[in-house]
Every structure is written in structure tokens, then in C-alpha cells.
Chain A
Amino acid sequence: MWKKVLVIILLFYFLALLQNSFFTHFNLLGSVPNLVFILFFLLVFFEKKKKKYLIIPLAIVAGLFLDIFSYTYIGPSIVPLIIIGILLKKIQSLLKNREDNYPFVYFLPLFLICFAVYEALLMISLHFFDLSHTLINFDLRFAAGIVYNLFFAIIGFWIFKKHA
């Protein structure tokens, strides 16, 4: 158990460094993949229903790394991630059970919704504490960001699916 926790924390840290240093050279219209969010989403999506309590510590660790490597104070990412995690598990529990517990048809729209909600919540929380911070623009850059993140999320989905 502790080994798994340590691996997850290190993975979040590694991905936070990767998205801030390596992937900035591969930006798509200025957007870089939010690998920490993608890993968080995948972990929650593939989490067994009995282990719902893990959402909050996962959100705290993921949000902490996202906020530490950004320029704002610590917190704006943690709260949206907790909301997204709870929302995701709630939606998953409402969806009709299939033979396949983690179908791709559920993953795709859920990821898109959760990513858009996360971005919106993040912008609102940043704007709330810093009024000079502009609210979200649903422009070409935002669309490019969604496509770019979706690409990495789909790769992650198939990796997780293999090991689920």
C-alpha cells in the first residue's frame, strides 16, 4: 500500500516537472498537456468504487504539485480537483453498469467534461483571489488545449485499461 502511495506521489512530481520543462517546447498554440490532471483523472476513473475516500488525498497531492510549479499561491488547483473527483465518481455510479467496467465511450465524454469544468473552476478560483487574472477564454487556444490533453489522456486510458 505504502509503496503504491509513494509511487503515485513520485509519478505526480515527475509529471509536474515534465509538463513544466520538457513539454513547454512542444506547445500547441501555447497549450501544454496537463499531465498531472490526466494522471489524477485516470486514477479516479479506474479507482474501485469501494475506495472513494482516496479521491481527496489524490486531489491534494496532484493539486499541490500543480500549484507549487505555478506562480500563484497554493490551493487553486486542489479544490477544483476534489470537486472533479467527487463529480466523476458520482457520474460513474449513475451510469449504467456494463460488462466492461471502464468503457471508452464513458471515458471520452467524461474526460472532456471534467477537463472543461476543471479549467473553468481553476480560472474562477484564480480570479477570485486575483482580480487581474482574466477569466477563461473559450478560444482556439482552449480548443487546442483540450485536443492536446485528450491525446495524452487516451494513451493513458489504454495503458491503465491493460493493467486494470
Chain B
Amino acid sequence: MLTSKTKQKPEILEAVIIRFVGDSGDGMQLTGTQFSDTSAMFGNDIATFPNYPAEIRAPQGSLYGVSGFQVHIGSVEISTPGDTVDLLVAMNPAGLKTNLQAVKPGHTIIVDTDSFTKKNLEKALYESNPLEDGSLENYRVIEVTMTSLTKETLKDVSGLDNKSITRSKNMFALGMVYWMYDRSTDYTINFFKEKFKKKPELIEANTKVLNAGYYFAETLELIPNAYTITPAKMNPGTYRIVMGNTATAWGFLAAAEKSGLELFLGSYPITPATDILHELVKHKHFGVKAFQAEDEIAGISSAIGASFAGDLALTTTSGPGLALKGEALGLAMMIELPLVVVNVQRGGPSTGLPTKTEQSDLLQALYGRNGESPVIVIAASTPANCFDYAYEAAKLTLEHMTPVILLTDGYIANGSAPWKIKTVADMPDIDNHVINEVTDTWHPYDRDDASLARNWAIPGTPGLEHRVGGLEKDRVSGNVSYVPENHEYMTNIRAEKIKRVQNYIPDIETEFIDKGDLLVIGWGGTYGSLHSAVKEMNDTGYDNIGFAHFNYINPLPKNTEEVLKSFKKIIVCELNNGQFAKVLKMNFDGYEFLQFNKIQGLPFGSNELIEKFKQFLK
């Protein structure tokens, strides 16, 4: 670790929010991830928010090519990446222009002045140089000739081309920020050693630049003092940092091991769900069969085939992909096979905003199929609990013999947070309905009395040969049946099967208070924003506001109406135009569901929520 002889004792802060912005090729995601991982290792609670364009390498210096990574670290509980930032690191004018509004006046901006060329200023549509025209006088601006300093640092390192030299300037910025917030550079240096195992010159170069940035900040008079954020109080245990998509993949691995089944993934690449595929393809050692199919439909279809053949089957996608999978999902529902569909929601409709977050696939998940075709719908709400809800999706699908849609979203899928690692032994048991014994009275559509799940007769089992299919089935034999009463009976029993899942899922619990003036309702990935907004109000004297966050959407928890009854006003907050509010209206008559909706491809900010809640409390 680097130590500083001249350094004064750092000032202690409770929490800090930092945003790194630059061109999409500037390595901002890496820089942000390194800072957040280092802080997590140090013991801080963290929340991150990567925000990047859909273009892989948008034209350099353009406003729409700006890539950002925001990280919130604290010695207190952190549940969102935060609204406004304490420190903005802007690698170019476009980054400054598009992110300045997030910086609180009086706070700090670090800029690479080398990038503030005439050309880049024009590309960012600046009429004059903001570093010179006084427009930044309300901020503490630290101007650093970062590109030149990086080149100077690396002038003696051989084997580097110009491009690699310039590209390592993000490490100069990271080094500065490490000094400012009293972080060790060890984690990042180890990261270089691992990542560039076969390119020692890159280990040397990146380490040199990182250290140069660190020492530069130390000696720079513009930075009066360093800050530190002491470790957060967290439950004892072993932790790691997880991204939502990784946690989702791991939840399925755990479920496969616990259930004793092999895991099959049929998938087609789509942002922002692809990282689940990337993760699962690595794990052939656990017997995972990950199949990249020719399209979304083949993704789910291969999973249906694998499920028919006895695997724990899964398909992963995002909104447009779910639309394509609709017909096949109806088949899985009709033939009553276990299947999990993960939909990592993104901005819609159509191609929409592929890299941005939204919750607008809820109604599609509930109703986006022909005919009466209910399925179980659940939603994860934090990067870490993607593990739990992936596991739960697998458990529900196997125990109830019906497809489950697991909704996450771009925000929690790409966000990372500390996760207190669970072992497979910590997870609940998973039953299944596999049948091995032939009896004279066996029929493919025999059901479990309590859950109504049908039995699962797997090819290869002698004596249980049978046919399934999308045509309506006789209630017992499973043969094709056009009998009118049978169709109604089967329609109702498929619906009742989903309804009875209520008997197996937990009640909804309210946070803060369970009776009062205003109930804030959310679902899925908005948990962090809503929880921290209500908490902040609670901490500042509002003792009449409660919070209920839904992870189980279909069916809803049994006690939902009890909770609704206990509050005078209800506000449903969603990143869509009110889809969950519609669901609640349909299910619970006689309540007024106020709405707060945001459809900007961005998560809720605490301030806008608090402002809204205060209005409704008046």
C-alpha cells in the first residue's frame, strides 16, 4: 500500500457519492468498478450505477457517447447510488456537460484539461470553454493535465503504443480519487496482475499511472485534505461484491445443485440480460448446459425440450425477447412443465432504450400470451437478492409445475452491492414431482391435491410413455380433448394452480410502520430508492409513512389487502406508466391508488420521491 508521509489525518465522512464520466472507450466502467470494489473490501456498504450508451464505441467526444459510473459508499447503510454527487471526474467536455447538473454546488469536479480542446468543446456543443468562462465558479474545479501527465509517466516504459498510453489515463484519475478518499491501491494493483498476466508491460504501465495519480493528488495544493469513510456496520459474515446478473446466474446454480437436477439454459444474446448467459456458460464443471440458440424463440423452445427431458430449464431475455417467447411460454404453461424465464427489463417499447432501466414489462409478463394463460411472476429487488429470487423461481417452478417469470431490470442487473454469501446448505429444500414408478392408475395429468401440480414423467422412464402438446388436454389422460366442459375445467384448474401458490409464499411485510397516513408501494428493482427515501423521511420525523415492497406479483401475497387497509393513502411508485397500480386496482376494489411514475430510463432519485411523498402527506 502506498503511504503518505505528509498527509494530515483524513476528515471522516459518513458517505460519499462519486461519478466517473468520459467517452465510452475511456474505461469509466472499469474505473468505477475498481473504486467500488476497493471500498467494499475496506468494509464500506456500497451501491453502484453504471450508465452507458447502447453504442459500443460512439464517436469520440460526442454527447451521446458519454459513459458514466456512479458509486455511493458509506459507513452507514447504502441502498441507492444516490441522487447528486460529491465528486465528478470528467475525462472530457461532453462528460462535463451531460453530468454537471448532478453535482451539488460547492462540490468538486476533476477534469482532464488536455481533453478540453477546441474540437472536443465543439463536439460537446460548448460555445466557450467552461473552464475559462466562469460558468463553473460555484464548484471546486481541479484542473489536471491528465493526458500529458500520463504520457510523461510512461515515457520510459517500453512496448507501449500511443493508444495504450492514452487509454491508461483513467488510472491516473483513479489514483487521485484513491488518495482523496484514503483508499489503498492494493486491490487494483492485484487486479492488474491478474488481468494482464500475459502482458507484463501493461501491469507496469497501469501501476505506474495509478501511483502517479495518487502522488499527484497528495502533492497538489488544490486538494486541501483527504477524506475517509469508515467501515459500515454490517452483519458478521463473509461478503463479496455481486452484480445482479451474476447473482441471478448463481441462484440458478445453487437451485440446480440443491434439487439434484442438471441446469439447462437456452438463450439468445440481448442487452441487458446477456451477462447471465456469459456467467452460466463458464460453469460446465457443474454440468450446466448453456445453449446459445439461433433466436429468442429457439432459446425458450430448447429450454422447453430440456424441461420435458428432465432438466431444470431456464431462458433469459429482455423485453423484446419476452415478446418473441410469448407463444412458447404459452405452450410450457399448457403442458405444465417447469421453466423459468428471466426478463431483465430495459426501456421499451420496441427496441426502446436497451442500456437503460425500466419496469414496463410487468403487464407483458402477466398477460403477454394468447388465451387464459396465467404464470407465476416474481421480481428481484436488489443486486444481491437476485440470488434469492432466482433460487425461488427455480423452487416455485419445480414445486408447482408451471412456468415462472422472474423480473429484474437493467438497474439491479448491472448494479453491484455487497452480498453476505449464502451457502447452498443455507437455502430451503426444493421438491419436485418426478415420477419413477408405474402404477395401473397413472395418468400424465394426475395432480398433487394441495398444489395441483401435475406429475413429471420424464422420457427414459419405462411405462410412462405419454404425449403432451399445445392442444387442450383431457383432465385425466392428457389426450387431446375438445369437450367444452373439459376446456373450462382445465382453464380453471390452471388458474387455480397459480392462485394456490399464495399458500406457499410469504406475507408482505411493511417497513417502518404498519398503520398510518401514507403507504408507499413499490415492486422489483426500485427497492433501494424507495426504502432510502422513506427511511430519510422517517429519520427526519415523519412517523406516519410506511413502505411495502412487492417481490411476488402473481399471485400477490395473501395479506395484501390487510396492508392496504391499514393506511389512509396509498401511493404506487413505478418506473413505468402505472402498471402495478393497474394490477392492484383490478384486484382490490374500493381503494384509491395514487401514482408516481417515472419513464426516463433512470432510477428514482430520493429527492424527487421525498418531495412527492410530502405533497401527498399534506
Q: Do A and B bind each other?
A: no
Q: Chain B: residues with CB nearer than 8 A to chain A?
A: none
